[in-house]
Amino acid sequence: MRLILFNQNALLLACMFVSSVYVNAVLDAYAIENPYISITLTSLLAPLSMLAFLKTPRNSAFALGFFVGALLFYWCALSFRYSDFTYLLPLIIILIALVYGVLFYLLLYFENPYFRLLSFLGSSFIHPFGFDWLVPDSFFSYSVFRVDKLSLGLVFLACIFLSAQNLKKYRIIGVLLLLGALDFNGFKTSDLKKVGNIELVSTKTPQDVKFDSNYLNDIENNILKEIKLAQSKQKTLIVFPETAYPIALENSPFKAKLEDLSGNIAILIGTLRTQGYNLYNSSFLFSKESVQIADKVVLAPFGETMPLPKFLQKPLEKLFFGESAYLYRNASNFSDFTLDDFTFRPLICYEGTSKPAYSNSPSKIFIVMSNNAWFSPSIEPTLQKTLLKYYARRYDKIILHSANFSTSYILNPSLLGDILFRKR
């Protein structure tokens, strides 16, 4: 009997499922910025994820999940390139794929199309080991359809009717359902005046030298250079990526330099902070020689925290994070920064793609800082952008993103109006 992992139909269906993400990754790789190309392709391809989910037979469900997990999240293993466990990289990819194989087997256990509808819409609430990047709803971020659950449910129903054997009978119903899911306000752009005077920095610091003390002087000089450049443009705020300053800033003489410069321009920078033996991934806002600090709330599973029972957690933390007494800890609540009459919520990388950061926030503007050098080159920046765009549209937020080793951008809550800042 042929092994389930070599199910060619499941591989084809998995490619259908992730096609919108990969097409946008190609557009990003070749710097094709015409929004109508992305909108057209995404609008055509995103429903294929629903069709693949709908049509996969139960005996291929595990294989579908296996391939989807590998295709969407293989990049999670790339961070092992910068550890002593490089040899584990293929094993990690296989383990990730197996987890999603089990998940999809459960989601697709019943072949009833209406059960599949509910399981598709519910899949974004299931987070294996706290990892919440499987959000099929986000595949529609750059589509002409609304991204709320009701609208996506209408699109899924349209897939059911349009793929029915008696197509003529149900064609009109399917088309009407698609029309009902269209976002007729999607092409109205929001006013970005409040963020128009913000400089988003895209850095190119390789991960293998980022935490090298011999490279720290170069990092400091590059930060100062970017600040002076932003000042010459008369910007009011400059934003640096996650851990742009890669050691504890509060204990460094460099902090005084930033405080001095903040009299003319506000500076938001990602860095580290220590408190006792606790290590925090933090953002510091320097403004008029005062400092506001926000610590990361949602830690990256297996990168900053071990989402496992304590009897497994502690030995694995020592194994992968080293014998250091310092371990990452998180803040209990999100913080908002106020800069004159401008209020925004700073988010650091992984937590920027987490629903809790947006769902109960009064802030209209979010600033996300990321270090994507861990996963370069891969589809991770595209998948991250897709998720951020989803939350921008879903919760009507303006999201600014400053990144290391990928493009920085401003995301509009409507389909159009995004602004990209290519790496210099």
Closest CA to 179 of 207, 206, 155: 155
In sequence order, the 6+-apart residues with CB closer than 8 A to the CB of 105 are: 58, 61, 62, 65
Structure tokens at 393: 């549209």
Contact 375, 406 (CB under 8 A): no
Structure tokens at 181: 């899911």
Structure tokens at 296: 């990361």
Q: Could you give the residue numbers annotated as active site? A: 242, 296, 349
270 beta partners: 283
Q: What is the DSSP string of 60-114?
A: GHHHHHHHHHHHHHGGGGGGGGGSS-GGGHHHHHHHHHHHHHHHHHHHTSS--HH
**Mapping DSSP to helix (H, G, I), strand (E, B) and coil, where does residue 257 land?**
helix
In sequence order, the 6+-apart residues with CB closer than 8 A to the CB of 299 are: 281, 305, 328, 330, 350, 351
As a whole number of angstroms, the longest Cα–Cα distance in the chain is 73
Q: Which pairs with CB-CB distance under 8 Å and at least 24 residues apart come from 358-365?
A: 358/391, 358/394, 358/395, 358/397, 359/395, 361/334, 361/336, 361/395, 361/397, 362/336, 363/336, 363/397, 364/396, 364/397, 364/398, 365/194, 365/195, 365/397, 365/398, 365/399, 365/400
